[in-house]
Amino acid sequence: MIRHLLLSILFVATSLPALAERPRVALVLSGGGAKGAAHVGVIKVLEANRIPVDIVTGTSMGAYVAGMYALGLDAEELERQLLSLDWNQGYQDKVGRDELSLRRKRQNDEYLLRTDIGINPEWQLSLPGGFFQGQAMGALLRQSTLNLPGLKSFDELPIPYRAVATDMETVTPVVLGYGHLATAMQASMSVPGVLQPVMVNGRLLADGGVVNNMPVDVARELGAEVVIAVDIGDAMLPRERLNSALAMISQLTNYLTRSSTERQLALMTEQDILLTPNIGGIGVGDFSLMPDAISRGEAAAEVMLPRLQALSLSEEEYQAYQAHKLDRRAQLQRTDAVYLDRVVVENRSGLSEAVIRDVLGVVPGQFHETRELEDGVRRLYALDAFERVSYRIEEHNGEQVLTVITSEKGWGPGFIDFKFALEDDFSSRSNYEIGVQFRRTNINMLGGEWLLEATFGSNKQLASEFYTPLDTDYDFFWKVRGEYEKRRRTFFFDASDPQFELFRPLTTLDVDYATWSLLTELGYNLRPWSELAFGVQGLVGDIEARNIDQRLDIDSFGPYVRFSHDTLDNVFFPRRGEAWEVRLGYFRNSLEVNGGEESVSGLDYELEWLRPYAFDRHTLIGKLSLGGSSAEQEVPTFARSLGGLFNLSGYQSDQLSGRYSAFGGLLYHYRWFDNDFGAFRSPVYLGGSLERGGVWNSGADVDWQSSLIAGSVFIGVDTNWGPLYLAYGHGEGDKNSFYLYFGNLFSF
């Protein structure tokens, strides 16, 4: 620090004549997404030739590079920082499945077509302001700036800095010259329709490219006498390339950005220098080509070296200039750990502040690393109640204050999601399901919600559910659910058994279960991914045997306990985590047939377990399920089924049903290729399975030796809308099936 101070004094003392003689140089950087890496190549050439920069301005990606350079990073640090970031991650707002609560995992696994369609308080359809909400981009930019506190002016940075954004209400340029550097960068980079605009000082701000993509005028207002401008904007498309709707939209966007750039070019004088790197073939989203863009930026600057070198300083002058920058950089409170005196919540949602504080988990009066703060923000965002959660660190009256801003989804509070599942064995049976879920969030200040669900197709379901946490720590919850379900099952039995005398001479029974049920649960969340629940369930309905024209009325009532745990990263193609559920109940079941009624009480139990073991691109998954009931009747009230892909492959879905079931299987995946499209991935898998299981109608018949062996081979794709499988299954008893599966086949 003392050395830097002495060098700064020396700089002022020795370079005043030079400062008086040399002009103030501004570096102006235009927007262009991944092409903006070319700016780093330009800076490398400037530094190699001892060319000082006194002012830096930028738009969009140019605002990011300019902001990091203004922080005092040299070209080498800037290049390392730019290439180390996963820019594609900035367009992936959704938190990982393993970060979601157990309840949200179950919902997302069932309703895979998550549309983000909202229903506003006036019960009108509403949509978000951007395809992505900017949550991940905000975290990436905070990581870059190491949570630099807010500044009264960006003139306090080692190099005075300005970013340009667009006021979306008036479509006019907004120059950002104070506040939080990461917020200014994000506002300037939020491409309309792609990233949600950023609210800054009451104005809704988005990417500045359409109003001022190369802010020469802003540099002039800061006192620039010589401008080095870098233009990486796209040229207009020729007529032969205007052959699609996307091309037309791209042409209009190019026109707006080129028009703003042309207006800025008109402000440049003969002593200014314009650099135009050849960035052809590099798109705004081609972040993997950033190293190439850096090289092209260097090449463009080297072409203009004869003019640029007129601005070069002597080695002594440049050393003093650099020392002055380093001194100002050292004075910035930019650190990976910060002591927090207070935590303030700017709550722009219906959730209580106490809930937000408890989920955030940041305790004042302690040092906190950036990672801890980001983890707390991700926990809040994983509640799925906010469009964006951000924070800033400021100094107030000698205190370091963390301000957390939570913004409720502006297109809610109701949301609609869908599901679609298809199963076809290419022979005798096709099943499909189409479903919709309406979710009304934040019913109360604890984040309660109301669900309406409807499913149609081979199986039918109508349901309504109310759920609410009971405390701000989200330790306890209560829910009540009413449901109608109609489901088809097939039972195989021994006609000589007196228990099945009613159905002679048949050996199979095709039945439709139509039931109405009501349950209520009181539960405790041991962790966000583990819960223990105590409930009571009542059920009434009928069982219709289609092949004997027989109808049986049923009712059931009793208490149960459920213990659920799920840390899987992906329910269909998992690589880490574990999931299991144990349910034990005691039910009184009544069955009425031919005017007579039979009532039986007994225990009902279920166990499911799934665990992946991954190595490199290989994954082996173990699966186990058991179920049964001691209340034995001709037709079980709670039936278990096997059949279908990965559930005794070769058999039709739910082809085997009974009172008792047991299943064990090993499933192997090989991730063949990744299909990484940046903002999303759809990896392709090859694999197979070995399975063994059986169903039985009497406890005396349960025998592992009488179980069936099956297996499969498949190719699968993990799409954003659910898994897609094309498979062949073979089961004991010469059962063979080809399968086409799409949707929530394998949800836990």
pLDDT category at 244 given cuts 50, 70, 90 is low
pLDDT of residue 47 exceeding 80, the answer is yes
Question: Which CB contacts under 8 angstroms, 24+ apart, belong to 84-91?
Answer: 85/140, 85/143, 85/144, 86/140, 87/34, 87/140, 87/287, 88/287, 88/676, 88/678, 88/679, 89/136, 89/140, 90/136, 90/137, 90/140, 91/132, 91/136, 91/137, 91/194, 91/195, 91/678, 91/679
The Cα 101–Cα 107 span in angstroms is: 10
Could you tell me the CATH superfamily of domain 337-408? membrane protein fhac (3.10.20.310)
Can you tell me the mean pLDDT for 688-714?
A: 90
pLDDT category at 573 given cuts 50, 70, 90 is very high
pLDDT tens digit sequence for 312-356: 999 999 999 999 999 999 888 777 888 999 999 999 998 999 999
The Cα 182–Cα 144 span in angstroms is: 8
Can you tell me the mean pLDDT for 646-659?
A: 84
Listing DSSP states for 474-490 in one string gives --EEEEEEEEEEEEEEE
- What is the model's pLDDT at position 396? 85
What string of H, E and C letters represents the secondary structure of 31-59? CCHHHHHHHHHHHHHHHHCCCCCCEEEEE
pLDDT category at 544 given cuts 50, 70, 90 is confident
pLDDT of residue 555 exceeding 50, the answer is yes
Mean pLDDT, rounded, of the chain: 88
pLDDT tens digit sequence for 187-213: 999 988 888 899 999 899 999 988 999
In the chain, domain spans: 25-93+135-331, 337-408, 414-742
The Cα 316–Cα 10 span in angstroms is: 10
Which is more confidently placed, 138 or 250?
138
pLDDT of residue 386 exceeding 60, the answer is yes
pLDDT tens digit sequence for 83-110: 999 998 888 888 889 889 999 999 999 9
- What is the model's pLDDT at position 9? 44
* CATH classification for the domain delimited by 25-93+135-331, as one of 3.90.1530.30, 3.40.1090.10, 3.30.565.10, 3.10.620.30: 3.40.1090.10
- What is the model's pLDDT at position 491? 63
| Active-site annotation holder among 30, 60, 190, 625 | 60
Instruction: Clarify whether 497 is annotated catalytic.
Output: no
pLDDT of residue 701 exceeding 90, the answer is no
- What is the model's pLDDT at position 480? 98
pLDDT category at 572 given cuts 50, 70, 90 is very high
pLDDT category at 3 given cuts 50, 70, 90 is very low
Which is more confidently placed, 303 or 639?
303
| Active-site annotation holder among 207, 231, 234, 425 | 207
- What is the model's pLDDT at position 505? 63
- What is the model's pLDDT at position 737? 87
Instruction: Clarify whether 155 is annotated catalytic.
Output: no
Highest mean pLDDT among 12-21, 234-243, 476-485: 476-485
- What is the model's pLDDT at position 133? 87
Fold adopted by 414-742: Porin (2.40.160)
